[in-house]
Amino acid sequence: MAESVKPPIIGLIPLASVTEVQRTVDFYRHLGMEVRGSLRNPEGELQWVHLTSGAAEVMFSRALHPVIAVQQAVLFYLYSSNLTALREHLLGQGIKVSSITYPDYMPKGEVSVEDPDGYVLLIGQSD
């Protein structure tokens, strides 16, 4: 019996629920992300957004229920070509960000920051 050919997955974009989509966009712009697509409700409130920066992509939609930070079961791993400069930029914007650590899996350095809904972002120094 011949095996059927399954179409390959060619992309994956996480979609997370957030309390206020515009607030989330404003935060992720500090990381250099830009809006690629968005949807608003009839009142003009942002309901969904697709953000990109280089090869990084993420989507956010307005939560139907309260977002509880301690129940977030996902973290986002990002890469920066200049982790030190990014950390200084975030601190300059009043965003709480960890010191640079050097774990075994990321010997070039990594920081941790939380977005406005409590999603944990780990940001590693790229090659």
What is the C-alpha to C-alpha distance for residues 63 and 17, in angstroms, rounded to an integer?
A: 5
Instruction: Report pLDDT digits (tens) over 45-64.
Output: 999 999 999 999 999 999 99
Q: What is the pLDDT of residue 82?
A: 94
| Domain residue limits, the chain | 15-64+72-125
Residues of the chain with pLDDT > 90, as a percent, come to 80
- Is residue 1 very low, low, confident or very high in pLDDT (cuts 50, 70, 90)? low
Superfamily of the domain at 15-64+72-125: 2,3-Dihydroxybiphenyl 1,2-Dioxygenase, domain 1 (3.10.180.10)
The pLDDT-based confidence of 70 (bands split at 50, 70, 90) is confident
- Find out whether 36 and 52 touch, Cβ atoms under 8 Å: yes
- Nearby residues of 115 by Cβ (< 8 Å), 6 or more positions away: 18, 24, 27, 28, 121
Q: What is the DSSP string of 104-127?
A: TT-TT-EEEEE-TT--EEEEEE--
